[in-house]
A and B are shown apart, each in its own frame.
Chain A
């Protein structure tokens, strides 16, 4: 097995987590990291083996990388992803994908024309409960769909004060880009793609200049309508909590990262589901991983990325194209709310 040469740009919270997961993959060497924060890069210099760079272009030129993880603020994605793809490097990029869909579209085309593996960090697709929900919906267990609700809550901004790039909408900050993108992406892949925004509220709670909550009415491609309810200023949640609920004429599915709750009017023998409530837990549905950090999904998505790089074949989960679609829906919501 050829040892793959990996690099990372951006060593913030997600970048550090990716760095640990990438390093821990068998047959992958994290040979280079790039960041401008000395406190972080000095720690790598002192304790780890990777080469340190402040300039990602230099890193791409010198390191002959097979794959790269880009975990920088969204406004930087375009130039970095483009440079990596042009160098022929397979790219894993954090979400959201791009600040505007015209740029995102260029990257999708570039990745496709070069046949490179391209993946985004919408990690919910690697959580067993959501996967099972997708399968059950495809198997039509709750009949004709009548309503959906996609929700996410968490305690990111819980008091008024200036912060990082996440509080500047021009750089990809705000609850819509940061939090709601997860729900929109999950919704589009598990249920159906949003095609129309029927109404939106973007609310500032503690932040100034960006929204802390997003509430939208949405129509999906399959005709289903429903609600998007996202608030990152809700400290009744210990950490980010994302859920999808879909109601059908024959039942209902409620799903989050820990539990999948299915209510059926009548027994479904083929699926082994009784009438009434059935609960499936993540303890049975989690994807087993070789190395664990913060949740199976974070490792599973990198394992999947590395596997595709090894096969030299782009994957089908979390592609740039899917991320681009989410970016377009975000633009639709902003336009609708204006």
Chain B
């Protein structure tokens, strides 16, 4: 394993993208309303600009097709987005899941490996046939990363659905391959999103990945904190990793003040991820985080 040469600074507040793509864990109705509201890219850019004005400097987003348009916009206006970073989270799973239902696993690979299987013969085609899964993973990562060309992406995440599947299957060596490739090819830090934080941390350590960036569900009501809130809290207190708290508001079930104050008992938590489509909510949440979950002062 490579020594951990990077120690990327994480902003206290990370701005998420669920609201833009109709993802809402507490209401299908709201998610459809959001999908209508953010139909065009300009409406997404408007909210991103409002978040930037409110102090947000990191946008954590899935590799949804429409993010490519947002990236084009950012490249076209470099002055407007100075210091702005994106944390890509790959893959956008529904794209692949729907494809697998329709085309099967081989059909999906054929569709999403750039070019046809035959066309990418040189780099990946044969690798697939021979079962060189590391190579296949690298090709898919590169395909997903294309849209972020020339954009600062200091951390690259794998989505929870994939992390948790690999975790469940016990295929920990895949994490090792991923970790090494992100560090070597992109020279940035890998990150992991999960709903099973304690088990994931154990798994990563077992293959020599130490002090990883892990984005996990952390909230006062224990929502999606698999394995129980007590075990999750114990890991947050005692283990060495760089937690990012998501679903802090338990999909809207908790009041922001108590939700963010809850995080205060875990000084290792470096960042809070939240998404919102409202200028006022964004400002309020940032204020609440600063007030109730302040960054510890260096002594």
Closest CB in chain A relative to B127 CB, distance in Å: 11
* B223 adjacent to chain A (CB < 8 Å): yes
* B50 adjacent to chain A (CB < 8 Å): no
Q: Which residues of B contact A291 (CB under 8 A)?
A: 164, 168, 196, 199, 226-227
Nearest B residue to A35 by beta-carbon distance? B105
Q: Are the CB atoms of B26 and A258 closer together than 8 Å? A: yes
A-binding segment of B140-148, B180-188, B247-255, B275-283: B247-255
Q: Are the CB atoms of A155 and B27 closer together than 8 Å? A: no
Closest CB in chain B relative to A80 CB, distance in Å: 19
Main secondary structure, interface of A, reads mixed
Tell me which residues from 193 to 225 in chain B have a Cβ below 8 Å from any Cβ of chain A.
Answer: 195-196, 199, 221-224
Q: Are the CB atoms of A156 and B102 closer together than 8 Å? A: yes
Answer whether A13 and B196 are a contact pair too, CB < 8 Å, given A48-B169, A283-B253, A293-B164.
Answer: no
What CA separation (Å) do A17 and B161 show in the bound complex?
10
Closest CB in chain B relative to A297 CB, distance in Å: 13
Q: Are the CB atoms of B195 and A292 closer together than 8 Å? A: yes
What CA separation (Å) do A12 and B27 show in the bound complex?
29
Closest CB in chain B relative to A170 CB, distance in Å: 17
Tell me which residues from 162 to 210 in chain A have a Cβ below 8 Å from any Cβ of chain B.
Answer: 163-164, 166
Q: Are the CB atoms of A281 and B226 closer together than 8 Å? A: no
Tell me which residues from 129 to 166 in chain A have a Cβ below 8 Å from any Cβ of chain B.
Answer: 155-157, 163-164, 166
What CA separation (Å) do A325 and B102 show in the bound complex?
27
Q: Are the CB atoms of B251 and A283 closer together than 8 Å? A: yes
Q: Which of B29, B172, B250 contacts A283 (CB under 8 A)? A: B250
Q: Which of B28, B97, B105, B131 contacts A256 (CB under 8 A)? A: B28
Mark interface residues in A232-259 (1 if CB within 8 Å of B CB, else 0): 0000111101010000000000001111
Q: Are the CB atoms of B102 and A293 closer together than 8 Å? A: no
Closest CB in chain B relative to A318 CB, distance in Å: 21
Q: Which residues of A contact B28 (CB under 8 A)?
A: 241, 243, 256-259
Q: Which residues of B contact A293 (CB under 8 A)?
A: 161, 164-165, 168, 195
Q: Which residues of B contact A258 (CB under 8 A)?
A: 24-28
* B107 adjacent to chain A (CB < 8 Å): yes
Tell me which residues from 25 to 67 in chain A have a Cβ below 8 Å from any Cβ of chain B.
Answer: 37-40, 42-44, 46-49
Nearest A residue to B171 by beta-carbon distance? A47
Closest CB in chain B relative to A12 CB, distance in Å: 7
What CA separation (Å) do A19 and B221 show in the bound complex?
29
Q: Are the CB atoms of A164 and B94 closer together than 8 Å? A: no
What CA separation (Å) do A257 and B27 show in the bound complex?
8
Q: Are the CB atoms of B104 and A164 closer together than 8 Å? A: yes
Q: Are the CB atoms of B228 and A288 closer together than 8 Å? A: yes
Mark interface residues in A114-126 (1 if CB within 8 Å of B CB, else 0): 0000000000000
Q: Which residues of A contact B173 (CB under 8 A)?
A: 46-47
Q: Which of B105, B168, B171: most chain A CB closer than 10 A?
A: B168
Q: Are the CB atoms of B169 and A23 closer together than 8 Å? A: yes
Q: Are the CB atoms of A294 and B104 closer together than 8 Å? A: no
Answer whether A283 and B26 are a contact pair too, CB < 8 Å, given A13-B100, A38-B131, A238-B21.
Answer: yes
Q: Which residues of B contact A24 (CB under 8 A)?
A: 167-168, 196, 199
Q: Which of A12, A23, A37, A39 contacts B168 (CB under 8 A)? A: A23
* B106 adjacent to chain A (CB < 8 Å): yes
Q: Which of B21, B106, B222 contacts A288 (CB under 8 A)? A: B222
What CA separation (Å) do A292 and B228 show in the bound complex?
11
What CA separation (Å) do A39 and B117 show in the bound complex?
14
The 4 closest A-B pairs by CB, nearest first: A20-B168, A47-B171, A292-B195, A42-B131
9 CB-based A-B contacts, threshold 8 Å: A19-B168, A19-B169, A48-B170, A164-B102, A238-B31, A241-B28, A281-B251, A288-B226, A291-B199
Give chain B's interface residues, CB within 8 Å of chain A: 21-29, 31-32, 35, 94, 97-98, 100-107, 109, 128, 131, 133, 161, 164-174, 195-196, 199, 221-224, 226-228, 250-253
